[in-house]
Each structure stands twice: as structure tokens, then as C-alpha cells.
Amino acid sequence: MKLKHEAELFKAAMVAGVRYAEQRGVVEFEPTDSASEKLLYLYRLLVHDKVIQPLPEEQVAEKSMRHKLALWYAKQLPKDHPLLRP
């Protein structure tokens, strides 16, 4: 699925994902944690919690994980949300 506003959706997904992980009590991110580290952790956590479908292991790369998180977040938004408009 192609997302027109994928970069913005991904940024919002990272914020929501960090909140999800911290509220779940499984992690406390540090200011020194890189975006890549957070992304990998959040992807693995959402797969573990069966919130998103895992990618084939050979496709687990930053770009594909960013897309997965953006899709996950987009599905939580109301259909008329500005980030979902074409």
C-alpha cells in the first residue's frame, strides 16, 4: 500500500510506538538512543505483540520497517484524517 504522506505518518508512528512501548512497561528509551535503534525495537515489539505482521527476515531493513510502522499508525487514524488524503 502506497502512502502519500509516509514520512509524516512514520514520525507520528514513532511517537505513538514509543508511548505504546513505555506504557507497556517493557522499555524506557534514552535520549541517546538512535532513531534506528528505536525503530528496530518498536518493529520487533509490535511483531511480538502480534500487532503487525512480520516481514520475511531477509526484508527486515530500515526502509521496510519504516513503511510497516507508518501503515500501522495510518490504520489507527480516522478515514478523513489529513495524512490519509491523496
CATH label of the domain that carries residue 61 = 1.20.120.1930
Domain that holds residue 56: 6-23+33-74
What angle separates helix 35-48 from helix 62-74, to the nearest 10 degrees? 60
**What is the arithmetic mean of pLDDT over 57-67?**
95
For residue range 26-50, list pLDDT tens digits in order.
Answer: 999 999 999 999 999 999 999 999 9
Would residue 80 count as lying in a domain? no
pLDDT at position 50, please? 97
pLDDT over 90 at 24, yes or no: yes
63-81 per-position pLDDT tens digit: 999 999 999 999 999 999 9
CA-CA distance, 84 to 75, in Å (whole number)?
9
What pLDDT score does 1 carry?
Answer: 73
> Does residue 54 fall inside a structural domain?
yes
- What's at 41, amino acid-wise? Y
The reply to whether 43 falls in a domain is yes
Domain count, the chain: 1
Q: Is residue 44 part of a domain?
A: yes
Q: Give a yes or no: residue 28 inside a domain.
A: no
